[in-house]
Structure 1
Amino acid sequence: MGTLYLTDQNAYLRKTSKRLVVEKDGETLCEIPAFKVDRVVIFGHVQISTQAMNFLLQNGIETAFLTTHGQIHGRLVPAFNKNIFLRIRQYQAYGDADFRLKFARELVRSKLTNARRLLQRLSYSRDIEIEHALSEISRYAELATHADALDSLRGYEGKGTAAYFQGFGMLVQEFTFSGRNRRPPRDPVNSLLSFGYTLLSGEVFAAVSAHGLDPYLGFFHEIHYGRASLCFDLCEEFRHLVVDGFVLDLINHRRIQTGDFEEDKESGGLLLLAEPRKKFLAAFNQKMSGFRKKGGDEEISYRLSIHHQVDTLRQALEGKGEYQGYQYT
């Protein structure tokens, strides 16, 4: 199953007996067997019938509503998971300083270790001096495993991530990338990264909700009103692996080019134009749903891996073992 992205403005989503149908101006754009869809993401002015809406809710399928440029408006989600006892354990764990620190240390160790492995793979056979970045990432990953407080751990995570992006910048071709910037993203590479991270957070939000956890109560990121902190926590292990690699592929193979962006008049940031956005969404969905080796002969997609990590956290909350971070192979 996969995500249905609707980007054609003034399109209309309806349901027949066993299919979801997208129409515009009396023409059918696509028909998809309903069982193949596990999430719907709507960009801008797209209509949806009440029959389709009821079907999505009854089958536990989340619908996310975004602006045409990818900023989240809100989500239509099925009734909350009934496992209140799991959420009670989650709330109790938030007050357990030892649990929070152990979880966060493993999260940061996993993120930085995976980021280093990704850089090694992407830089293989490339004539670039990336050893310093790799060394710095390793250093901060090691420091993270021994951090005695969340504040110091966040410092190690930030410095390790900065070292990672120094190495990442060396791999960028055709475009200019001098470091991470956001809110708004001021160059094409950061625009693509921010858009990809938004899509990834939606995937994580859906997985966290499906497993019965509260997406707004995290253990590493501080909680704020309206901030899905647990989603931000679990995104950390996947953001570089899922988003950065395929963004690099898109720009270095010129599938996305410098002329594919426009300036947002309100924020001053750069945003993808409509047609390149469709290309980006297709690449993201392929990245999420494509199967890759996990170990031995086993294959698993990143989408399923995210669900696996959420379930690993659930087991840790229920006292069935400690949280084990995602391992990139």
Structure 2
Amino acid sequence: MRTLVVSGYGVRLRVRRRCLIVEEGGERMVVPLAEIDRIVVVTSGVSITSSAVRALARYGVDIVFLDPHGTPMISLCPPWISASVETRLAQYRARLDPSLRLAYAKAFAQAKVLNQAHFLQELYLKTKASWLVEEAEKLQRLAAEIMLADKVSRVRSLEGVAAKIYWGAIASLLPPSLGFPGRDQDSADPVNTSLNYLYGLLYTWSFKALVVHGLDPYTGFLHEDRAGNPVLVFDYVEMFRVSAVDKLVYKLVTEGFRPEVDPNTGLLTRETRAKLVEEFAKWMRRRTRDGSGQAESLEKHLMLYARRLARAVRSQQPYQGFVEAVIA
């Protein structure tokens, strides 16, 4: 067990003899602290003792509290995870250098669009729907155009065009009964609400990966800086959206899983949220190859590419984004 999902009301967490004790309704589960990387709390009505928080911090365990939309409300991390100030100073210099900012923005956006193209290629291999080949080729052309862009605003514009092509293809493949109109953050259909929820988790995973390697999550390159918004996290997750979330949601719903939405609130039910977190944690442990052929778990790639970004920023050199190899 690397990620512990807490989804029940009235659950109590405490520590005894280097083990986490999870108590609920007269039942209890005992988990060695050394076997936990992260605790995700997806509901209210959960209590945790201060001694448990201190013990978990000593073991480097994150505690993440999500709201019903999947947005991280708070993430408790040990204070020693941040690296030296050298990386952040270099990051600020790169952000103020128009050519470097553009180069890093292109790297994030191109990687995202190439991953979208590769996923459509994989779906063609599975479905034999020949029209997917043409859509994937359109995305590959847009990825090439991104590298020729002379402004960050142009990069974002091309990324938007690619998104319409990609999500239009995904919508055509999913069962009509799901009511998926394409990507719409404000839609109450179960696919969009699931995507929103899991992107929130991906933000949390990515936030830590960036901070561990000394980067400032609030200073980005592709997205415009806004006070209080972790824009570098928004930049960074672009490269992993397809591999970490889109493919998972597609797999789940095409295999029969139906996310349940509470008709009174328009939010995913507690049971659905718990299921999604558990599946996401397992999915992030799957091994996959990047464009260079390096095989690692997705979670490891998330950390490796943050390290490479920090290294590129410190040396003021180009950055190669994460692109997952096509899975036949």
Q: Tell me the TM-score normalised to structure 2 length.
A: 0.91
Q: Distance in 1 between matches of 2:289 and 2:90?
A: 33
Give the 3-state SS of the residue equivalent to 1:262 in structure 2: coil
Identity of aligned residues (%): 30
Task: Identify the residue that residue 185 of structure 1 maps to in structure 2.
Answer: 187
For residue 37 of structure 1, what is the amino acid of its counterpart? Answer: I
Distance 1:69 1:27, change over 3 A: farther
For residue 96 of structure 2, what is the amino acid of its counterpart? Answer: G
Structure 2 residue 74 is the aligned partner of structure 1 residue 74: yes
1:137-188 Cα deviation digits (max 9, x unpaired):
1221111010000001100011111111111112212422221111x33211
1:228-285 Cα deviation digits (max 9, x unpaired):
111111100110111111111111111225xx211363xxxx3221222222222111
Task: Identify the residue that residue 20 of structure 1 maps to in structure 2.
Answer: 20
Q: Is the 8 A contact 1:12 1:22 kept in 2?
A: yes
Task: Identify the residue that residue 102 of structure 2 maps to in structure 1.
Answer: 101
Task: Identify the residue that residue 318 of structure 2 maps to in structure 1.
Answer: 322
Q: Distance in 1 between matches of 2:291 and 2:220?
A: 29
Give the 3-state SS of the residue equivalent to 1:193 in structure 2: helix
Q: Distance in 2 between matches of 1:69 and 1:32?
A: 28
* 1:1-329 correspondence to structure 2 within 5 Å: 2-28=2-28, 30-43=29-42, 44-79=44-79, 81-128=82-129, 129-173=131-175, 174-182=177-185, 184-256=186-258, 260-263=260-263, 265=265, 270-294=266-290, 299-319=295-315, 321-329=317-325
Distance 1:221 1:156, change over 3 A: same
Structure 1, 315-324 or 193-202: larger mean CA deviation: 315-324
For residue 276 of structure 2, what is the amino acid of its counterpart? Answer: F
Give the 3-state SS of the residue equivalent to 1:222 in structure 2: coil
Distance 1:106 1:162, change over 3 A: same
Q: Is the 8 A contact 1:101 1:150 kept in 2?
A: yes
Q: Distance in 2 between matches of 1:313 and 1:86?
A: 10
Q: Distance in 2 between matches of 1:296 and 1:110?
A: 13
Q: Distance in 1 between matches of 2:293 and 2:221?
A: 34
Q: Distance in 2 between matches of 1:230 and 1:200?
A: 13
Greater relative contact order (CA < 8 Å, ≥ 6 in sequence): 2
The alpha-carbon deviation at position 298 of structure 1 amounts to 5.4
Q: Distance in 1 between matches of 2:292 and 2:316?
A: 25
User: Could you list the runs of 5+ residues in structure 1 that have no partner in the other structure?
Assistant: none
The alpha-carbon deviation at position 304 of structure 1 amounts to 0.6
Q: Is the 8 A contact 1:185 1:194 kept in 2?
A: no
1:59-104 Cα deviation digits (max 9, x unpaired):
3332222224423322222215251122111122111111111111
The alpha-carbon deviation at position 49 of structure 1 amounts to 1.0
Q: Is the 8 A contact 2:33 2:59 kept in 1?
A: no
For residue 325 of structure 1, what is the amino acid of its counterpart? Answer: G
Q: Distance in 1 between matches of 2:307 and 2:162?
A: 27
For residue 187 of structure 1, what is the amino acid of its counterpart? Answer: D
Q: Tell me the TM-score normalised to structure 1 length.
A: 0.91
The alpha-carbon deviation at position 294 of structure 1 amounts to 4.8
